[in-house]
Amino acid sequence: MSEKITPPPRPSSPRPVIYQMLPRLFGNTCETRAPHGTIEENGTGKFADINSTALTSLADAGFTHLWLTGVIEQASGTAYPGRPADPPDILKGLAGSPYAIRDYFDVCPDYATDPARRIDEFRELVARCRSHGLRVIIDFVPNHVARSYRSDVRPELSFGGGDDRSAFFARDNHFFYLGANHPGGGPPLRLPTADMPGCDGFFKPEHDHGRVTGNNAATWTPSIHDWYETVKLNYAHDFTTGRDTRHLPGPGAAPSEVPRTWRTMDEILGYWQDFGIDGFRIDMAHMVPMEFWAWVVRRCRERSRDVFFVAEAYDNDPQKLTDGHVLDELLRAGFDAVYDDPVYDVMEAIYDEGKWANDIDHLIFTGPRFHRSLRYAENHDEVRLANPATWGGLGMEVGRPVSAVLFAMGRGPLMVYHGQEVGEPAVGAEGFCGDNARTSIFDYTCMPEFVKWVNGGKYDGGRLSPAQRELRAWYASLIRATCGPAFTRGEFYGLNHANKENPAFGRVDGESVSGHWLYAFLRHDDATGESALVVANFHPDRTLENATVRIPEHAIEFTARADRETWRFTDRLATSWSGTAAASDLPITGLLLPPLSPLSAIILEIS
């Protein structure tokens, strides 16, 4: 029997602290995990599994928002009354991809106890979340839909209806249609699935009129590496002509003046806003014109001022539709936050590519994006921290220094992916993607470590190891430690540059420059005077003894403490350590830190 733990007081954070969950996985306690297993074999989580006990636990841990991933109806190999299964040729995995949407106005019947009541059951879940003080985010996938897309709920708004299929591009077509001049030898469309079980490589509706894939592959023979299960949506810009989208309408255009796809998408977003959804995580936002975002975000804010928009976007993707930095352009278009993939990549490269902690400094800059970036150490697209083939094979503990730095460095939203907090490793092949260090979003499966926290629906961690329970509590402590004004309103001051020549700043194995394994920075809020020093030890197995961190004169001025003779430091994250230092010593000898265990972090309140 697990010991009963009294939850700490809930933190009150003015920024979103997001918990990402896929309902199929979150509540599924069937541990069969047969590769390519059916829903009957491997089970699935339900909306009802996200019950009051689960939501209380998440709220007590400090989360403010739930990203309910993949709830909109997707193409799937599972049939329901009145809803046939999709052909296997247009599926990735038996459950299908949550990003191959089949009906934008419906939800996935897999998640309903009574599939005929699935919309009602989802509405009840949203109400439960609200009753626990949790806001709800869902996916909005604007760039593409499933090849089988057809809305049963709003058939008059089905994509493709009324399109001129003889034209590759037309302003008010929903899709791009292949012609005889496109690669692949002309019709029929031939998918890369012919050798897969139950497949023949064809999709009957596209025998004569093929469509461009979601990743812009204009070919009759898309490859296995293409998003062959999806079709690209048309926002009145021919992507084959380049990135210049200045011909598109402005943000104040009336609905009658904008392209048809714009109007359809506005109807979709309005539908979910009326439903009670608080925000949207936008998939591959950089592949859609910035003019559309400026127009539709404005429309959504007219309906609900506080609607939250966060963009998954990558500036290094050649498919982006702007010559500027796409993350900045999306913020200018009205987004609240954008993915911080660059800092995540450097963190991972410390363990897998020989990068140094100092390399993080190359991504620190002034400007809105730094403090409006969503920071994460895991999400459904990325490898698991605890997987033995990733992150140096160090296991779940590597998440501590990584998450501490990511969560403490800026004012933007924070995110934890379900399973991260208990060290879910994603070991073994589950189906479509094989053993790729990610928990499959395409298959019916479960998370074998996470189900130990679910513990048959008790959500008490009764089957977790002591180390897993401690890790989950640590993430809650991290959220609490970073919800004060220094972190939610304050500025950043990096200290690694001032410590490269400090031989006591974590050097090991004869290093002549510091900053390989230690990373340190200050956060300070002028309005409240709150300051903090964050230090992380990324080293996989070395306790750093007698390490010091120098705080230069300019940094002392940054904290508005130039008149303080003595500074006191108290850890608010994981230890009870406290210490003092004379202000005059900080730029020269620095602060003597407590022993820093491998893969650890401290967040020192300065008083």
Q: Residue type at 224?
A: I
Structure confidence by residue, pLDDT tens digits, 26-85: 999 999 999 999 999 999 999 999 999 999 999 999 999 999 999 999 999 999 999 999
User: What does residue 503 show for φ and ψ, rounded to 5 degrees?
Assistant: -65, -15
In 3-state terms, what secondary structure has residue 161? coil
Mean pLDDT estimate for the chain: 96
Q: Which tens digits make up the pLDDT trace of 319-369?
A: 999 999 999 999 999 999 999 999 999 999 999 999 999 999 999 988 899
Report the C-alpha gap between 157 and 105 in whole angstroms: 10
**CATH number given to 17-158+244-340+369-481:** 3.20.20.80
Who's near 600: CB < 8 A, 6+ residues apart?
400, 401, 536, 537, 574
Q: Is 288's pLDDT higher than 50?
A: yes
Q: What is the pLDDT of residues 129-148, one digit of tens each?
A: 999 999 999 999 999 999 99
- Give me the phi and psi of 414, to 5 degrees please: -115, 155
Phi and psi at 471, nearest 5°, equal -65, -45
The pLDDT score that the predictor gives to residue 366 is: 82
The C-alpha atoms of residue 439 and residue 450 are separated, in whole angstroms, by 11
| Rounded distance between C-alpha atoms, residue 298 and residue 304, angstroms | 10
Instruction: Calculate mean pLDDT across residues 169-174.
Output: 98
pLDDT tens digit string along 428-465?
999 999 999 999 999 999 999 999 999 999 999 999 99
Q: Which of 317, 321, 324, 261 is nearest to 290 (CA)?
A: 321
211, 231 Cβ separation under 8 angstroms = yes
What's the confidence (pLDDT) of residue 9? 46
86 secondary structure, DSSP code: P
Angle at 412 between CA 408 and CA 414, to 5 degrees: 65
First vs last C-alpha separation in the chain: 41
Enumerate the domain spans of the chain: 17-158+244-340+369-481, 162-232, 491-606
* Total length of the chain: 607
13 confidence band (pLDDT: 50, 70, 90): low
Model confidence at 472: pLDDT above 50: yes
Which pTM value belongs to this model? 0.96
Residue 305's Cβ-count burial label (10 Å; 0-12, 13-18, 19+) is exposed
Residues 6+ apart with CB under 8 A from 463: 2, 451, 452, 453, 455
Decide if pLDDT at 256 tops 60.
Answer: yes
Portion of the chain with pLDDT greater than 90, in percent: 96
Q: Of 373, 371, 347, 351, which Cα lies nearest the Cα of 359?
A: 347
For the stretch 555-574, pLDDT in tens is: 999 999 888 899 999 999 99
Q: Quote the pLDDT of residue 11.
A: 47
590: left (phi over 0), alpha (psi -120 to 50) or beta: left
The architecture that CATH gives domain 491-606 is Sandwich (2.60)
Query: In this model, does residue 6 exceed pLDDT 70?
Result: no
pLDDT at position 2 over 90 = no
- Alpha-carbon span 106 to 17, nearest angstrom: 27
Q: Single out the residue of 248, 233, 345, 242 nearest to residue 293, CA to CA.
A: 248
Q: What is the pLDDT of residues 512-541, one digit of tens each?
A: 999 999 999 999 999 999 999 999 999 999
Q: Which two tokens stand for residue 86?
A: 């999709």
Question: What is residue 10's predicted lDDT score, i.e. its pLDDT?
Answer: 47
C-alpha Rg value of the chain to the nearest Å: 25
Cα 308 to Cα 140: distance, rounded to the nearest angstrom:
12
Distance CA 22, CA 45 (A): 9
Cβ-proximal residues to 464 (8 Å cutoff; 6+ apart), any chain: 2, 422, 449, 452, 453, 472
Do the beta carbons of residue 446 and residue 31 sit within 8 Å? yes
Strand 591-592 to strand 518-524: parallel, antiparallel, or no bridges (unpaired)? unpaired
Distance between CA atoms of 58 and 590, rounded to whole angstroms? 39
- Contact criterion met (CB below 8 Å) for 522 and 493: yes
Three-class DSSP category at 126? helix
In this structure, are residues 430 and 445 in contact, taking their beta carbons and an 8 Å threshold? yes
pLDDT at 5 over 50: no
What are the structure tokens assigned to 318, written together?
């050649």
Same fold, 17-158+244-340+369-481 and 491-606: no
pLDDT at 185 over 50: yes
Q: 414 in helix, strand or coil?
A: strand
The DSSP code for 584 is G
Say what the pLDDT of residue 563 is. Answer: 87
Q: What is the pLDDT of residue 12?
A: 53
Question: 188: cis peptide before it, omega within 30°?
Answer: yes
Q: Which two tokens stand for residue 302?
A: 């007219």
Question: According to the model, what pLDDT value does residue 562 have?
Answer: 81
Cα 348 to the center of its chain, rounded Å: 16
Alpha helices for 35-178 (secondary structure H): 39-42, 52-60, 118-131
User: Which of 17, 13, 45, 61 has its CA nearest to residue 422?
Assistant: 61
pLDDT of residue 561: 85
